[in-house]
Amino acid sequence: MSSNKPNETSLSNTIKRVLADESNVRKATTPYQVDFPYHREEEAQVTRREFCNFLGLTSAALFVGAAGFAGKAALDARELETFAPAKIDGAEALPPGTSLNFRYPTEKETAILVRSLDGSYHAFGQKCTHLSCPVYFDRNKQQLSCPCHDGGFNAQTGDVLYGPPPRALDEVKLEIRANGEVWAIGRTAGTGERVI
C-alpha cells in the first residue's frame, strides 16, 4: 500500500495542474498568441434563437425541395409515354407453345413474346418485378419463370402465380397486321397488386 501512495499523490498533482491550466485558458495561451493569433472575443457565439432559426430554415428548405421532386414526379406520371411501333422479326414463324426474345421499346430493354398453345400472342417486359432478373418461358409449365427466386407468371396475362414478385410483369401491347406480322406498339406497367 505504501508503494501506491507516491503514485496517487503524483496523479492527483497532475490532475490539479491540468485543471488549473484549463481554468485560465487566456493565461495558458498567451505565450503562443504570436504564433497562433486567435482571439476568443472574435469567436462566433451562436444563440439558441439563431440555432433554432437555422434549424427551422434548413428543415423548411428540405421540405420544399422534397415537395418539388414529388410534384415533378406527379406531373411526369400524368404524361402518357409514347412508343414507336416496332416489328418483331420472326414472330410469324413462331410455333404455338414457344417464345421469342426481342428488344422493345429501346435496344437496352428486353422483352419476351409468347405464342400460346391456342395460337394467340402475348408479350411482356423480361425483367422480373422482384429484383429484375430475366424471366424465361417454361415450355413444360406453359408459364414465365424467374430462376433467381423461384417466381412464376401467367404467360397470357403476366400476373404473378407464385413466389416473391410483388406485381405483374410489364405488358407489351401487340398488333397483328394484315400480312401476319406482329408489331409491338406500346408498353404498360404491370398492376401494383398480386393477383394470387
Q: Write the pLDDT tens digit of every residue in 19-45.
A: 665 556 666 667 777 777 666 565 566
Amino acid 157 reads: T
What residues contact 59, with CB distance under 8 A and at least 6 apart? none
- Residue 188 has phi, psi (to 5 degrees) of -130, 150
In this prediction, residue 140 has a pLDDT band, given cuts at 50, 70 and 90, of very high
**Residue 95 pLDDT > 90, yes or no?**
yes
Instruction: Please tell me whether residue 5 adopts helix, strand or coil conformation.
Output: helix
Cell for 79? 404524361
The CATH architecture annotation of domain 86-188 reads 3-layer Sandwich (2.102)
**Residue 1 pLDDT > 50, yes or no?**
no
Q: Cα angle at 144 between 143 and 149, to 5 degrees?
A: 120
The overall average pLDDT reported for the chain is: 85
pTM above 0.85, yes or no: no
Measured CA to CA, the distance from residue 42 to residue 19 in angstroms comes to: 25
pLDDT recorded at residue 46: 72
116 versus 17: the higher-pLDDT residue is 116
Question: Average pLDDT, stretch 55-81?
Answer: 88
- The full set of domain ranges for the chain reads 4-78, 86-188
Cell for 67? 415537395
Amino acid 183 reads: W
114, 122 contact by CB (below 8 A) = yes
Burial of 107 (C-beta count, 10 Å sphere; 0-12/13-18/19+): exposed
pLDDT recorded at residue 8: 76
156, 137 contact by CB (below 8 A) = no
Residue 164 preceded by cis peptide, ω within 30: no
**Tens-place pLDDT, residues 144-171:** 999 999 999 999 999 999 999 999 999 9
pLDDT recorded at residue 13: 79
Measured CA to CA, the distance from residue 53 to residue 39 in angstroms comes to: 27
Measured CA to CA, the distance from residue 13 to residue 6 in angstroms comes to: 10
34 versus 60: the higher-pLDDT residue is 60
Cell for 39? 482571439
